[in-house]
Structure 1
Amino acid sequence: MLVFPNAKINIGLNITEKRSDGFHNISSVFYPVNWTDALEITWSDTTSFSADGIVIPGNESENLCLKAFNMLSADYDLRPVHIHLLKAIPIGAGLGGGSADAAFTISTLNKLFDLNISEEKQIDYARRLGSDCAFFILNKPMYCFGKGDQFEITDLSLAGKWIVMVNPGIHISTVEAYSGVKPAQPETDLRTLISSPVSTWKDAVRNDFEAGIFEKYPVLDEIKQSLYQKGALYAAMSGSGSTLYGIFESETDLSGHFDRYNVWQGMLN
């Protein structure tokens, strides 16, 4: 069975408080984007995992797809499978690619084995693998809060607009990202801000990670300003970076721009 796990962007990201368990509470809007990996799961004599495309760091046994299979197999005694991943979404880029792969593994195994696991239970499984994994089970625009694993449906639609995503290949660890942030409640609720036209978001919808990270990596701010110069209605960093994106009214000619970087452009749904 072949599926295509997709990326997401953060529209606004407020770090509201540090929790007693060491995590942080956030508020953000997650929006799915059609930059995808390819994930194939087939019957096999022994369970195994392989990957092509972007090199995935770490031990193969620690891959989230394999962890998702082992988690479900513990409850449903699944027969062996081979999981093959063609990795195209940049890793550690604020796009949730690894989380999408894990969530799509859960939903695909559910279909492949006719497990009839409810959406709610799939979300519970996904939460065990990472804070934003659960988002990709529903895979629709959501207001996210808590650790990023609690969701509320939003009627935000960017359908028909275009997005340009620029990944400069700078790896920013979670520890590094949070070291430049002082948690605080936003003056205006993000849900209120995104109810206004996209053209009004520039100075209102903010990613709290940007200030500290841009100070350390000025090229990221340069990319953001270049997106605005190209005519973006709104531009921001996704998650803790280092991917920058711009939302445009229509397809954009990028000739001579961002040639050194990994760039994806497409229409939003």
Structure 2
Amino acid sequence: MVFYTMIVFPNCKINLGLHVVSKRPDGFHELETVFYPLPLTDALEVISPGKLEFTTSGIAVPGNSADNLCLSAWRLLKQDFPELPEVNIHLHKHIPIGAGLGGGSADAAFMLRLLNNRFQLGIPEDQLLIYAAQLGSDCPFFIQNKPCYATGRGEIMTPIDLDLSRWTFVLVYPGVHINTGWAFSQITPQSPALSLRENILRPVDTWKDTITNDFETPVLNAHPELSAIKEKLYMEGAVYAAMSGSGSAFVGIFPKNKIAGIAFNTGYKVFIL
């Protein structure tokens, strides 16, 4: 018997600006944000043929492994493609969990893409986006995995011409897990005073005064010690620094090759990308 091993590397995303605009009748919130992919990755391995099982290494993944989004992605496709064989799935987790970086969503979306390609299911991108939206609000982004302006729950995406390759990103994860439901409960939805869609296309060194994250205030009120992360990023020369998603990771954008040794509290994870 011939075994096939497929490995993909789901990457993280950051939010550049995030506004909670209104509460929707379906219980979700209307958002606007800009998603930007960064090369901090997990490793997802699928072996076929195999007995359907899911294992992990690296960062401990909380919850019941049977409910992991990678397995959910397989089950979702199995409903419409009965011929889809069982596979052995292993996830090496490297992207911090509960950090606002979308790692779990990326794993699920990359699983959809991998199964579609490996087993030649012929699912077009627009249908993959529909499947991804059933797994999570951030999942559709990772199907396209390109900078975009997003509305709705985050699944209505408009590509934007945003190239930040001449900048260096510093991600700081302080090890604080922010519950997304709690974070939304702290927000009073309102229309933003400034246009994110317009401001994101202006020079990066103007973002400090125009691009904000609605979740930053309640998270910092609950965890005031995290304010020092943002302050430190600016002290070290970041032109823009903010929390990503509902937190608690912070991102600082620096001129290329201008990063010296940035020291944070012991236990903080720092990624320079």
The reply to whether residue 98 of structure 1 matches residue 104 of structure 2 is: yes
Q: Which amino acid aligns with 1:89?
A: I
The reply to whether residue 37 of structure 1 matches residue 42 of structure 2 is: yes
> Following TM superposition, where does structure 1 have runs of at least 4 consecutive aligned residues deviating by more than 4 angstroms?
none
| Partner residue in 1 for 2:31 | 26
User: Which deviates more, 136-145 or 167-176?
Assistant: 167-176
| Partner residue in 1 for 2:271 | 264
| Partner residue in 2 for 1:79 | 85
Q: Distance in 2 between matches of 1:111 and 1:48?
A: 20
Post-superposition CA distance 1:133-177 (Å, at most 9, x none) = 000000000101011111011111111211000000111111221
Q: How many residues were matched structurally?
A: 266
User: Which deviates more, 153-162 or 23-32?
Assistant: 153-162
Would the aligned equivalents of 2:74 and 2:111 in 1 still touch at CA under 8 Å? yes
Would the aligned equivalents of 2:175 and 2:267 in 1 still touch at CA under 8 Å? no
Q: Distance in 1 between matches of 2:110 and 2:271?
A: 21
Partner of 1:196: helix, strand, or coil?
coil
| Partner residue in 2 for 1:65 | 70
| Partner residue in 2 for 1:8 | 13
Post-superposition CA distance 1:178-202 (Å, at most 9, x none) = 2221111012210111111110010
Post-superposition CA distance 1:45-69 (Å, at most 9, x none) = 3111111001101111100000101
Partner of 2:241: helix, strand, or coil?
strand
Would the aligned equivalents of 1:166 and 1:258 in 2 still touch at CA under 8 Å? no
Alignment of 1:112-261 (within 5 A): 112-251=118-257, 252-261=259-268
Q: Distance in 1 between matches of 2:123 and 2:265?
A: 43
Partner of 2:271: helix, strand, or coil?
strand
Would the aligned equivalents of 1:44 and 1:82 in 2 still touch at CA under 8 Å? yes
Would the aligned equivalents of 1:110 and 1:116 in 2 still touch at CA under 8 Å? yes
Q: Distance in 2 between matches of 1:148 and 1:123?
A: 12
Would the aligned equivalents of 1:220 and 1:244 in 2 still touch at CA under 8 Å? no
Partner of 1:201: helix, strand, or coil?
helix
Post-superposition CA distance 1:1-60 (Å, at most 9, x none) = 110000000000011011111111110000001000000111133111111001101111
Partner of 2:92: helix, strand, or coil?
strand
Alignment TM-score, normalising by the size of structure 2: 0.95
Q: Distance in 1 between matches of 2:182 and 2:268?
A: 22
Structure 1: segments with no counterpart, 5+ residues: none
Alignment TM-score, normalising by the size of structure 1: 0.96
Q: Which amino acid aligns with 1:104?
A: F
Q: Which amino acid aligns with 1:108?
A: L
Would the aligned equivalents of 2:236 and 2:262 in 1 still touch at CA under 8 Å? no
Q: Which amino acid aligns with 1:37?
A: D
1:260: Cα distance to partner?
2.6
Q: Which amino acid aligns with 2:56?
A: A
Q: Distance in 1 between matches of 2:154 and 2:263?
A: 37
Structure 2: segments with no counterpart, 5+ residues: 1-5
